[in-house]
Amino acid sequence: MSEISLTDLLGMPVVDATGIRRGRVRELAMIPHDDTLHVASLIVRTKTGDRTLPFTSLASINGEVQTNSAESAWPLSGDAEGLFLLERDLLDQQIIDVHGRKVVRVNDVDLYRELGQGHISLKVASVDVGPRGAIRRLLKGVVPMSALRKLLLQIPQRPIPWEFVDLVETDPARRVKLKISLERLSKLHPADIADIVEDLPPDEREAVFETLNEEVAAETLEEMDPKVQKSIVESLDSDRAAEIVEEMDPDAAADLLGDLTEDHTSQILQEMAPADRKEITELLEYGENTAAGRMNTEFVALGINASAQDAIETLRHYEGGVETLSTIYIVDSQGTLVGAVPLAKLVLATPLTPLLALIQEPLISAPEGANDHDVAELFDKYNLLMLPVVDDHKKLTGVITSDDVISLLRAKL
Amino acid sequence: MKFFKRWKIRLLLFLAVVGPGFITANVDNDAGGILTYSSAGAQFGHLLLWTMIPVTLALIVVQEMCARMGAVTGKGLSDLIREEFGFRVTFFMMIGILLTNFGNVVTEFIGIATSLELFGLSRYYTVPVCCLIVWLIVVKGQYKSVEKVFLAASFFYVTYIFAGVLAHPAWKEAAIATIQPPALSAFRNQAYLFMVIGVVGTTIAPWMQFYLQSSIVEKGVTKRGYPASRLDVITGCVFTDIVAWFIIVACAATLYVHGFRDIRYAADAAQALRPLAGDYAYILFAVGLFNASLFAASILPLSTAYTVCEGLGFESGVGMKFGEAPVFYWLYTLLIIAGGAVVLIPGLPLIKLAVLSQVVNGVVLPFVLIFMLLLINKKSLMGEYVNSRMFDVVAWGTTIIMIVLSLAWFWTLRGGAT
């Protein structure tokens, strides 16, 4: 097994079984649908047109490509649909380095020569994003091969193993055909995905958001700059946008929709499930910079007679975000806020302790109209993790979580 | 106080509307621009005014192409060249751009040095201090806030219009010279040819195309938001060239008329305006030149570092730390230090050097244009947004004319040597 670079392969002479030169290597084609690791065929430019050279007829690759068949046995290349061409689709393009968590540009591709089943095959080992690939491409054909090889050995390599590479394909049809799915990217933390996606051009960003599953897409979107959020949602179909927005925290979703045009907002709302739609429509009615505009309408509230055990049971079935779990609220039959119980106290209490015995004093809450400054002050003064928001009748309508306040404060730094 | 507040609100409103096109156009009238236009007016009077209309047209077409490419592809010009033409072509293009832009950086520092020398400040203090200011603005991440100050201050450009009016130019002759090209024999004059290339090179500078396209991308302009950007670009181009016209006319009416044909220092240009327009215009001239130079000096090295790093695939971005993007920051730092250092070499003919850097712009321009034209007419890239026939004609026309002019100039150089 030895390594060879894409640059070395491109333009390499191809000889047939009788030793006569028939053409030069023009492309390396993969069929990712069948095999995401191996090159499926070489495309050879001959006098009679571009021909596809299957690996089964390859004898060796050593300065030139030797085959064990005649030119007429190599079929003429048809259209490249369903093929992933290394020179066209990978070289010089931007890819996602999932391990290094950034977008990088490909200078060269390193392949392994493998021998097996009587013929040679090529396996993609890594993409080179460092100076070695760059210099190889710059000097190939200008400097004698042996001198170039010696020089290249002096230059440090910066390879990204192929298993850490994710590709972005902007054409939806090709994405399906080539089975490009961003499976590695989607396993990263949404905040990291957001950083990576912000480095991509708009079409690629759109492609990422069409490919990720809704839940990951929603969490990623929440981590992004509001300006970028807006442009991404604007570029998506309204049903796809609705799928993602449904998965977002209602407060973040409302902030986002509030930035869009009224037409677009109502289109997206139309596509959403009725319950989510109602929640967000209500939030949209509040001023964006008030406590009510910042609040999340998903939280845990129990009646005054509930015990610690009841509360824990409710938490088990709670579907909202975990950040809204740090405090559990107690409301009376009218929905009026009565008390707040920190999660820690609840967990430490015996199952039958009444919730009312666990409440934190004093009970801090904010009116719906409280501005950002008041909200931040309350968080600071009382060292809160969550702040309940109440309407004019002291009815609990939502909660503000500390992560919202941190984002808010950071935006003002 | 109330007046100030209202004024501030108006200014903010204006700045909110101003887009990348207008900013680029403003930076276009940098030290190289001012000094080249001044020299053109001083040396040849009205003889170069005819270039203004065709150059404006070409500028609009070229800038619009950049803005369109940025909006449609969401990628910078060097990214596109890399993706479509491969590493080797990009490498040589980037070397060319780096050298050309270095000439422009030097010119910005020439503008800084000479404008502050009008106030009696030695360049041996002012240039290092300004180098440091420029470097810190970017490295400390303050560029966005400083940009607004520069932009507001660039209204000093309007003073050139006043200066032009106050210099009592020969309006009628100037108007005729604007629409009537000189006899073909004028082009046999090597100095004239040199100046024509310089005027085009400074107006349609190669680095601006890279800068504008990146700004459009960074601002997140998309296909839908693009018509607004087009208007922004056109307004900017027209404004730039009106200012350019007035600089030439003002210098023609003063320096040229009084037989003061050879500008050696910025002070020459300013001083010639002094007896006619008084101390006021003289100070404004210096302040305007200083602002323009410092503004461009804080953009050019940064834009160059971005262009080169993006094309060659190095990490880039002011959001990164020095260690994360070493090539980017070193390139940026060296451009500033070396650019400033050149100006401090004693005895250099600074104004001549400034004009020469703009001529180099003019010679490099057609190469950039060819790449732009090839890119923008790729259906796979631009879809329905490829060039219209008219745009192709103007852009290819500009390319060919600039190649012919450059070859003609090289030819005269050869003739001069033998």
Which chain B residues are within 8 Å of A235, Cβ to Cβ? 222
Q: How far apart are CA B128 and CA A340, in angstroms?
A: 61
Residues of chain A with CATH 2.30.30.240: 2-162
Which chain B residues are within 8 Å of A203, Cβ to Cβ? 73-74
Which chain B residues are within 8 Å of A107, Cβ to Cβ? 87, 313
* Strand A327-331 with A337-342, pairing: antiparallel
Q: Give the pLDDT confidence score for residue A110 in this predicted structure.
A: 92
Q: How far apart are CA A202 and CA A186, in angstroms?
A: 18
CA distance B71 to chain A (A): 9
User: Could you tell me which chain A residue has the CA closest to the CA of B221?
Assistant: A231
Are B274 and B312 in contact by the 8 Å Cβ rule? The answer is no
Question: Per-residue DSSP letters for B121-179?
Answer: --HHHHHHHHHHHHHHHHHTT-HHHHHHHHHHHGGGGHHHHHHHHHT---HHHHHHHHH
Q: At what angle do helices A226-235 and A202-211 cross, to 10 degrees?
A: 70
Q: At what angle do helices A131-139 and A145-154 cross, to 10 degrees?
A: 160
Q: How many residues does chain B have?
A: 418
CA distance B145 to chain A (A): 14
User: Could you tell me which chain B residue has the CA closest to the CA of A95?
Assistant: B313
Q: How far apart are CA B122 and CA B378, in angstroms?
A: 52
Query: CA neighbours within 13 Å on the CB side: how many for A204?
Result: 19
Segments in chain A below pLDDT 50: none
Q: Give the pLDDT confidence score for residue B126 in this predicted structure.
A: 93
Type of residue at B277: A
Are A410 and A381 in contact by the 8 Å Cβ rule? The answer is no
Task: Judge whether B316 is closer than 8 Å to chain A, CB to CB.
Answer: no
Which SS3 state, helix, strand or coil, does residue A84 take?
A: strand
CA distances from A2 to A38, A68, A148, A408 (A): 15, 21, 18, 54
Please choose, from the candidates A116, A158, A150, the residue with its C-alpha nearest in 3D space to the C-alpha of residue A134: A158
Chain position carrying tokens 């020459």: B268
Type of residue at A341: V
Please check whether the domain covering A2-162 is classified as CATH 3.40.50.720.
Answer: no
Task: Judge whether B91 is closer than 8 Å to chain A, CB to CB.
Answer: yes
Which chain B residues are within 8 Å of A129, Cβ to Cβ? 313
- Nearest by CB to B220, from A137, A204, A231: name it: A231
Which residue blocks in A155-261 are alpha helix, DSSP H? 172-178, 190-198, 202-211, 214-222, 226-235, 238-247, 250-259
Are B248 and B37 in contact by the 8 Å Cβ rule? The answer is yes
CATH number attached to the domain at A181-285: 1.25.60.10
Q: How far apart are CA B407 and CA A363, in angstroms?
A: 83
Task: Judge whether B87 is closer than 8 Å to chain A, CB to CB.
Answer: yes
Q: Give the pLDDT confidence score for residue B337 in this predicted structure.
A: 95
For B151-171, letters b (16+ CB in 10 Å) and e give bebbebbebbbebbebbebee
Element spanning A43, H or E? strand A41-46
Chain position carrying tokens 């007896």: B275
Tokens of A41: 């065929």
Q: Give the pLDDT confidence score for residue B342 in this predicted structure.
A: 95
Q: Give the pLDDT confidence score for residue A127 in this predicted structure.
A: 93
* Cβ count within 10 A of residue B121: 13
Q: Give the pLDDT confidence score for residue A219 in this predicted structure.
A: 92
Residue A138 to residue B75, Cβ atoms within 8 A: no
Q: How many pairs of residues across A and B have Cβ atoms under 8 Å apart?
A: 41
- Nearest by CB to A138, from B75, B88, B315: name it: B88
User: Could you tell me which chain A residue has the CA closest to the CA of B317?
Assistant: A199
Look up residue A87 and give its DSSP letter. I
Residue B313 to residue A137, Cβ atoms within 8 A: no
Task: Judge whether B382 is closer than 8 Å to chain A, CB to CB.
Answer: no
CA distances from A151 to A11, A144, A147, B6 (A): 21, 11, 6, 66
Task: Judge whether B321 is closer than 8 Å to chain A, CB to CB.
Answer: no
Residues of chain A with CATH 1.25.60.10: 181-285
Q: How many residues does chain A have?
A: 413
Residue B74 to residue A203, Cβ atoms within 8 A: yes
In order of their start, the domains of chain B are: 34-417 (1.20.1740.10)
Phi, psi of B55 (to 5 degrees): -65, -40
Q: How far apart are CA A305 and CA A307, in angstroms?
A: 7
Which chain A residues are within 8 Å of B88, Cβ to Cβ? 137-138
Radius of gyration of chain B (CA): 21
Are A369 and A286 in contact by the 8 Å Cβ rule? The answer is no
Q: Tens of pLDDT along A187-240?
A: 999 999 998 988 888 888 988 998 888 899 999 999 998 888 888 898 888 889
Q: Give the pLDDT confidence score for residue B10 in this predicted structure.
A: 57
Q: How far apart are CA A107 and CA A104, in angstroms?
A: 9
Residue A92 to residue B83, Cβ atoms within 8 A: yes
Please check whether the domain covering A301-412 is classified as CATH 2.60.40.1180.
Answer: no
CA distance B8 to chain A (A): 21
- Nearest by CB to A137, from B75, B88, B224: name it: B88
* Strand A94-97 with A84-85, pairing: unpaired
Q: How far apart are CA B361 and CA A338, in angstroms?
A: 74
Question: Per-residue DSSP letters for B90-127?
Answer: HHHHHHHHHHHHHHHHHHHHHHHHHHHHTTT--HHHHH
For A363-373, letters b (16+ CB in 10 Å) and e give eebbebebebe
Please choose, from the candidates B107, B163, B105, the residue with its C-alpha nearest in 3D space to the C-alpha of residue B287: B163
Which SS3 state, helix, strand or coil, does residue A255 take?
A: helix
Across the beta sheet with A2-5, the strand order is A2-5, A108-116, A119-128, A159-161
Residues of chain A with CATH 3.10.580.10: 301-412
Please choose, from the candidates A307, A315, A316, A318, the residue with its C-alpha nearest in 3D space to the C-alpha of residue A351: A307
Across the beta sheet with A102-105, the strand order is A102-105, A94-97, A165-166
Type of residue at A54: P
Residue A202 to residue B91, Cβ atoms within 8 A: no
User: Could you tell me which chain A residue has the CA closest to the CA of B313?
Assistant: A105
Radius of gyration of chain A (CA): 30
Q: Give the pLDDT confidence score for residue A226 in this predicted structure.
A: 85
Which chain B residues are within 8 Å of A228, Cβ to Cβ? 220
Tokens of B78: 């060097």
Q: Give the pLDDT confidence score for residue B274 in this predicted structure.
A: 60
pLDDT by 10s per residue, chain B, length 418 = 455 566 665 555 455 556 788 888 888 888 999 889 989 998 998 999 999 999 999 999 999 999 999 999 989 999 999 999 999 999 999 999 999 999 999 999 999 998 888 888 899 999 999 999 989 888 877 777 777 777 777 776 776 777 777 777 888 999 999 998 888 888 888 899 999 999 999 999 999 999 999 988 888 888 877 888 888 889 889 988 998 998 888 888 878 887 778 877 766 777 656 655 566 667 777 888 888 898 899 889 999 999 999 999 888 877 778 888 899 999 999 999 999 999 999 988 888 999 999 999 999 999 999 999 999 999 989 999 999 999 999 999 999 999 999 998 888 887 654 3
Tokens of A251: 């407060």
CA B317 to chain centre: 23
Q: How far apart are CA B382 and CA B71, in angstroms?
A: 10
* Strand A366-367 with A396-401, pairing: unpaired
